[in-house]
Structure 1
Amino acid sequence: MNIKKYSVALLLAGTAITMTGLPMGMISGTSSLAAADSAKKADINPSSIVDEVLWVVGDEPILKSEVEVMKLQGEAEGVQWKGNPETTILEQIAVQKLFLHQAALDSIEVTETEVSQGVEQQINYWISLPQIGSKEKLEQYQRKSLAQIRQDLRDDFRNRQLVQRMQESLVSDVKVSPAEVREYFKKLPVDSIPMIPTTVEVQIITQTPRVEQEEVNRIKTQLREYTDRVTKGETSFEALARFYSEDPGSARLGGELGYMGRGMLDPAFAAAAFNLTDPKRLSKVVESEFGYHIIQLIDRRGDKINCRHILLKPKVSEESVVAAKERLDSIGNDIKAGKFTFDEAAGYLSDDKDTKNNHGLMANSSANSRTSKFNMKDLPTEIARAVEGMQVGDVSEPFQMVNAKGKTVCAIVKLKSRVDEHRATITEDFQEMKNIVTAQRRQEIIHDWVVKKVKETYVRMNPRYRNGDFEYEGWVR
C-alpha cells in the first residue's frame, strides 16, 4: 500500500508508519528514538518504522522523508537554512501545500509538455556542470538511473510551477506609481539603497554554418523511412518519437506537443500541422527553424490542435563551422577598418532574425520589462565569456554557440555600453527601483495571504515543533 494514499483523516502528527503502510498510532516523543521506543512498547519491531508524519496541513501529511530529501538537496546546493533546518523546511513544505491546495481549487494547471521540457532543462543543466559533465556521472552522483531521476523530478517541477502560477495570480494586479517609488526610496537610509549590478548592452552578428546537402538528404530519408514504418503498421509514431526525436521536451511524451494555436508554432510547422485532417496520414517532411519534422495530427479543438512530431537536426561539419568563423572574421576586420559600421553589418549580413532589424541589439527576455540591458549572469554563457574582458566599442573575435532554437551558429559581438555596479539612483535606475518596490508589495500580499490561509486551515503538528521559530504566525493553535 502506498503510504500517501490511505485516509489522512486517520493521520495525526507524530504517527509512525510501518512497513505495511498503516499508521501505528500516536507517538509523542521528541525524536525518532522516541518513535522506536513507542514501537517497542507496542510490540512492533522498530526496524519496521519507515517514515513518520510530522505535520498535517489540511488533509495533507508532511512526512519525515520529505524533510530529509529537501534537506539533502539544500546541502548539495549550498543552501543556508535559517535557525533549525528541520523547522524551516517543514514550514516551507506546509506553505507549498497551501498554495497547491488553492491552485487545485482555482483549476490552475501545468501541461505535460511543460513538465517534460522543465525536467529536461534541469537534467541538461546538471549535466553541463563541470563536476558532472555527462549522463553517466549524473546517474552516479544521484545514485539513480536517468529514468528514475526524470520521474523524481516530475512531481517536484509540476508543484513548483503550480505554486509559482498561484502566486502570480494573487499579485497580477499589483502596480506602483512613480510617486510611490520616490517616496519609498526617500525614506531609506543611504546604506540601505540597493546596489545595481554591472549591466551591459550587446550587439550581435551571427552566421549559420552551411549544412551539407548530403546531410539534409540523410535526414529527410530517415524521416521518410519513419513515415513508411508507421504507415505499414510496423511500429507506432509515439514509439519512434520516444527513441529518435531530438526535441527532448516532447520525445518523452511520444512526440506530443499539447494543444497549441498557430501563433505558438513555427510558421512552416504550423502550416503543415493545420493542413492535416486525418490522424492516419502523416505530413510530408517539414523544415522549420529548429530542423526537419514529420507530424501526426491527434485532435482539434476550435482554433487549436494537438499533434505529435519527430524532430531531427542536421549535423554541422567542422569545415562549415570554420568557414562561418572566417566570414565573421572578415566582417569584424572590415568593421574595425571603418569600411562599415557594426549596425550596418548587422542589418545586411547577420542571420539572426531576432536582432538584425534592430542593429543587432540583443533584447533581454528574462527582465520584468522589455530592455536591452543585461546583468552579466543573464547573458548566454558564450556571449558573457566573450564580453567579460571587452571595453565599450570593442568587437569580439568569432566564436561558436548554440542559439535559443538549439542550432549551432557562429557569432561576433560588440559591447555597446557598460554600467559598472553602483548604488541605485532615481534618475538613472528608476525601472530597477520600481521593480524592487513592486516585488516588495507582491511579497507583502503573498505573506498576508499565507497568514490568512493558515488561520483558516486545519494544522496539527508533532509537539516537538510547537516552540519553533516560524516566519508565519498561526501555525501553533
Structure 2
Amino acid sequence: MKTGYKMSLAFIALLLIMGMSASASRMGMSRHASVADSDSAKLEAVNDSQSIDPGSIVDEVIWVVGDEAILKSDVEVTRLQSEADGIKFVGDPDCSIPEQIAVQKLFLHQAAIDSIEVSESEVMQGIDDQINYWVSMIGSREKLEEYRKQSITQMRQQMHDDFKNRQLIQKMKQELVKDIKVSPAQVRKYFNDLPTDSIPFVPTEVEVEILTMQPRIPMEEISRVKNQLRDFTDRVNKGETTFATLARLYSEDPGSARMGGEMDYIGRGMLDPAFANVAFNLTDPKKISKIVESEFGYHIIQLIDKRGDKIKCRHILLKPKVSQEAIDKSIGRLDSIGNDIRAKKFTFEAAVEALSDDKDTRNNKGLMANTAQADNRTSKFQMKDLPTEVARVVDTMKVGQISAPFTMVNSKGKTTCALIKLVSRVEGHRATITEDFQVMKDVVLAKEREKTLHDWVVDKIKKTYVRMNDRYKNCNFEYQGWVK
C-alpha cells in the first residue's frame, strides 16, 4: 500500500531543523503578550550578530518569526542536504531557504493554536512507509544501514519529529482548504483558456489483477516464536525485566517497538480482529495476554488504559521466518498455475477465487484497488502508486499477459509470492475534457487550494511578528510582507 509519504530527503532535512517540539506550546500565546520578554532577547541576538565580523561567527540568529528563531546553521543544513540530493532552489538559496523555513513555522504555529493533532501511530506509519520505500530502492535493510551509516532504529528516532511536524503542517493545510470546491463550468473555462502545450499530461495508467500465495511456514518455526513469547511472559511475571524493555529489544513492529511496544489510544475497528478481541478483554494492567495470532504475526499484549471505546496497550510482535525452500515451492506452484492459465485450462480470475491467499483481492477476482486517495478509490494506478515490486513487473508487460512469479512484501510486512495479469493500460497523453474530466478538475482544484494557501500565508505574515538580519531585507521573496 502507498500512503503518500514518499518524501524527498531535502524535505526531511527542511523539517529536521525546525525543532518544534519544545516551542509548539509557546507559539499558541499571543504575539503581543510575549514580545516584551523572549523576543527582546532574540532581537538583541539579531542586532548583535549584525555588528560581528561574519568570518568569526559559528552560528547566529538570522530571522525571528513569532516566537521562533531561525539560525544560520538551519539554512546551511538544508542547503547541504539539497545539494547532496541534486535539488535546486528557485532564486537565491540564501533568501529562499530561510523563507521556506519561516513559512513552515507559520503553519505549525497555526496548528498549535487550532489544537491540530497527529497520533503516534500516524507518525510511525509514515516513517515505516518511508523506510520501506528506501529499502525497496536500495535492495535491503542492511544496504540501507550501510549507505546511511545508521541503524534502522536510529533512522526512526532521527525522523520522528520531522514526520510529526510534516503531518501537522499537512493537516493544517487540509483544514484551511477543506471547503474549497470547483464547478464543471470553472473547469471548462480554465482549460478553454489554456494553450495546447500547457494542457496537463496524464501519466500512463494501468489496471492489474494479482494472485498471491503465502509460503508455508513449518510448525517448528511457529513453535519457536511461541516459545520465545512464553519466555518473555515468564521473565516479566518473575520481575526480571519489564514488558516495555523486551518490546524495545525484540518486537518486530517497528512502529511501536521504539515506544516500548506502546500504542496510542485506538478503537476496535482500527485493529486486527483477533488482536482486538484479546486486547479489549484485558482488565488487569499487571497481567499479560495469551499469545495472539494476527495477520501480522504473533503477539503478547499488556493493557495500559481504557478510555470509552478506545484502548491503550503495549504489545510485542514476532514474525515466523520464511525459509528460501518455502519460497521456492510457492514460486514453483505459481509457475505451474501461470502455465495452465496460458494454456486456457482456466482463467486468471478463476485461479484467484480458488487459490489466492489475499482475501481483499480474492473477493474482487484479483483486481487491485488504488487507495492512495481515500476519497477517490479506483482500480486504476499510475506506476508510482503501485507496490514497487509490482510496478517493476508491469513495466514491460502487454495487456492480457500473465507474469512470471515473483516475491514481494505485502501490506502486512510479510514476504509473499505473486502472479499478476495486466488488465488494461492507457498510455500517457494530453488530457481531454471528455476523457479526463476528473484529472482536469483535480488540476483546477489544486490551483484554487494553492491560491487559498498563498493568500493565507500573506495574511498570516501581516499578523505575525517578523524580524530579520538586515542583509536579508533586499531579497526577492515569494511572499510579500516579511520586511516590516
The two structures have a TM-score, normalised by structure 2, of: 0.88
Tell me what 1:137 maps to.
146
CA RMSD after TM alignment: 2.2
Residue type of the partner of 2:181? K
Task: Tell me how far apart the structure 1 counterparts of residues 297 and 156 of structure 2 sit (CA, whole Å).
Answer: 25
**Residue in structure 1 matching 2:76, options 59, 65, 68:** 68
> Is it true that 1:10 corresponds to 2:19 in the alignment?
no
Task: Tell me how far apart the structure 2 counterparts of residues 139 and 264 of structure 1 sit (CA, whole Å).
Answer: 33
**Residue in structure 1 matching 2:246, options 240, 245, 259:** 240
> SS at 2:138's partner residue?
coil
Tell me what 1:380 maps to.
387
Whether contact under 8 Å (2:60, 2:71) holds in the other structure is yes
Task: Tell me how far apart the structure 2 counterparts of residues 346 and 248 of structure 1 sit (CA, whole Å).
Answer: 31
Tell me what 2:290 maps to.
284
Whether contact under 8 Å (2:49, 2:60) holds in the other structure is no
**Residue in structure 2 matching 1:332, options 335, 338, 356:** 338
Task: Tell me how far apart the structure 2 counterparts of residues 259 and 56 of structure 1 sit (CA, whole Å).
Answer: 37
Within 5 Å, give how 1:131-280 maps onto structure 2.
134=143, 136-140=145-149, 149-280=155-286
> Is it true that 1:28 corresponds to 2:50 in the alignment?
yes
1:389-411 Cα distance to aligned partner (Å, 9 max, x none): 11100000110111011011100
Compare CA radii of gyration and give the structure with the larger one.
Answer: 1
**Consecutive unaligned residues in structure 1, runs of 5 or more:** 17-24, 37-45
> Is it true that 1:309 corresponds to 2:320 in the alignment?
no
Q: Which moved more, 1:326-335 or 1:110-119?
A: 110-119
Whether contact under 8 Å (1:209, 1:321) holds in the other structure is yes
Task: Tell me how far apart the structure 2 counterparts of residues 437 and 11 of structure 1 sit (CA, whole Å).
Answer: 45
Task: Measure how far apart 1:123 and its partner are.
Answer: 4.2
Task: Tell me how far apart the structure 2 counterparts of residues 436 and 358 of structure 1 sit (CA, whole Å).
Answer: 31
In the superposition, relative to structure 1, how do residues 127 and 355 fare at CA in structure 2: closer, same or farther (>3 Å)? closer
1:104-132 Cα distance to aligned partner (Å, 9 max, x none): 01111123333344334444544554399
Structure possessing the higher relative contact order (Cα contacts under 8 Å, 6 or more residues apart): 2
Tell me what 1:298 maps to.
304
Task: Measure how far apart 1:34 and its partner are.
Answer: 3.0
In the superposition, relative to structure 1, how do residues 163 and 152 fare at CA in structure 2: closer, same or farther (>3 Å)? same
Task: Tell me how far apart the structure 1 counterparts of residues 281 and 153 of structure 2 sit (CA, whole Å).
Answer: 35
Tell me what 1:362 maps to.
368
Residue type of the partner of 1:360? G
Whether contact under 8 Å (1:14, 1:462) holds in the other structure is no
Within 5 Å, give how 1:116-131 maps onto structure 2.
116-130=124-138
Task: Tell me how far apart the structure 1 counterparts of residues 453 and 314 of structure 2 sit (CA, whole Å).
Answer: 39
Tell me what 2:458 maps to.
451
> Is it true that 1:52 corresponds to 2:71 in the alignment?
no
Task: Measure how far apart 1:359 and its partner are.
Answer: 1.5
Residue identity (%): 62
Task: Measure how far apart 1:145 and its partner are.
Answer: 6.8
> SS at 2:69's partner residue?
strand
Whether contact under 8 Å (2:136, 2:388) holds in the other structure is no
> SS at 2:411's partner residue?
coil
**Residue in structure 2 matching 1:111, options 111, 119, 144:** 119
Task: Tell me how far apart the structure 1 counterparts of residues 364 and 201 of structure 2 sit (CA, whole Å).
Answer: 30
Task: Measure how far apart 1:94 and its partner are.
Answer: 0.6
Tell me what 1:41 maps to.
none
**Residue in structure 2 matching 1:419, options 412, 415, 426:** 426
Whether contact under 8 Å (2:473, 2:483) holds in the other structure is yes
> Is it true that 1:389 corresponds to 2:396 in the alignment?
yes
**Residue in structure 2 matching 1:92, options 92, 100, 113:** 100
Residue type of the partner of 2:220? E
**Residue correspondences, number:** 450
In the superposition, relative to structure 1, how do residues 355 and 147 fare at CA in structure 2: closer, same or farther (>3 Å)? closer
Task: Tell me how far apart the structure 1 counterparts of residues 339 and 249 of structure 2 sit (CA, whole Å).
Answer: 45
**Consecutive unaligned residues in structure 2, runs of 5 or more:** 1-18, 27-36
In the superposition, relative to structure 1, how do residues 339 and 13 fare at CA in structure 2: closer, same or farther (>3 Å)? farther
Whether contact under 8 Å (2:153, 2:258) holds in the other structure is no
